[in-house]
């Protein structure tokens, strides 16, 4: 490996002539859920750093071969015992740093379950009103996401379940079609 200019950016790249490997950088993709039930929002209290003791929306990191919509359904169930389905994509956070983090937030529809913490990542879980949250140590980013979901206009990005060109294995999200054209 050597450091060399690749498309105007210094990157680590393989030196062997038959090798085309380039290390494009370090990235992580996280997902978060905004699940509402009876005008209350599902929150979990973090049992680990970062943010230990803070209330956040459930979420986590995608696995290498997992679609983001499958990740968020899994994470909500793992962290809170609540079953929910994706309604729409409502926000994206881009945080460039040593490991570039992209966070994708989904509004989700409650299906079933009574909030129960997993006892590892989170030590408490429940549905809370905005009034109840006012006296809780809710993470700033979670407060922003709640505001986004509560004040979003339109349908946001929704899963394209019938794309004009079928692409197996893709997770496709789009703005809703106008007049189903």
Query: Mean pLDDT across the chain, nearest whole number?
Result: 92
Strand partners, 32: 59, 105
Residue found by looking up tokens 């679609």 in the block: 67
How confident is residue 149, by pLDDT bands cut at 50, 70 and 90?
A: confident
What per-residue confidence (pLDDT) applies to 152?
82
Decide: 124 and 116 in contact? Cβ < 8 Å: no
pTM over 0.95: no
**Do you find a cis peptide bond into 137, omega within 30 degrees of 0?**
no
**For 104-161, what is the HEC assignment?**
EEEEEEEEECCCCCCCCCEEEEEEECHHHHCCCCECHHHHHHHHHHHHCCCCCEEECC
- Cα end-to-end span (Å), the chain: 51
Over residues 109-126, the pLDDT tens digits come to 999 999 999 999 999 999
Across the range 45-72, mean pLDDT stands at 95
Arithmetic mean of pLDDT, 22-46? 94
Task: List the beta bridge partners of residue 96.
Answer: none
> pLDDT of 154-176, one tens digit each?
878 888 888 999 888 888 888 88
13-26: average pLDDT:
90
pLDDT at 28 (0 to 100): 92
Name the residue with higher pLDDT: 83 or 98.
Answer: 83
Q: What percent of the chain has pLDDT over 70?
A: 98
């Amino acid at each position: 490996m050597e450091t060399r200019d690749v498309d105007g950016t210094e990157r680590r790249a393989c030196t062997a002539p038959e090798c085309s490997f380039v290390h494009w950088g370090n990235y992580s993709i996280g997902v978060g859920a905004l699940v509402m039930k009876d005008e209350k929002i599902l929150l979990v209290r973090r049992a680990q750093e970062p943010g230990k003791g803070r209330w956040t929306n459930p979420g986590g990191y995608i696995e290498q071969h997992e679609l983001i919509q499958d990740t968020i359904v899994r994470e909500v169930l793992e962290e809170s015992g609540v079953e929910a389905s994706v309604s729409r994509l409502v926000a994206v956070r881009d945080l460039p740093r040593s490991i570039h983090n992209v966070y994708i937030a989904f509004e989700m529809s409650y299906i079933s379950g009574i909030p129960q913490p997993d006892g590892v990542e989170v030590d408490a879980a429940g549905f809370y009103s905005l009034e109840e949250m006012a006296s809780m140590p809710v993470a700033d980013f979670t407060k922003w996401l709640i505001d986004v979901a509560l004040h979003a206009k339109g349908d946001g990005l929704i899963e394209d379940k019938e794309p004009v060109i079928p692409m197996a294995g893709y997770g496709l999200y789009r703005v809703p079609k106008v007049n189903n054209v």
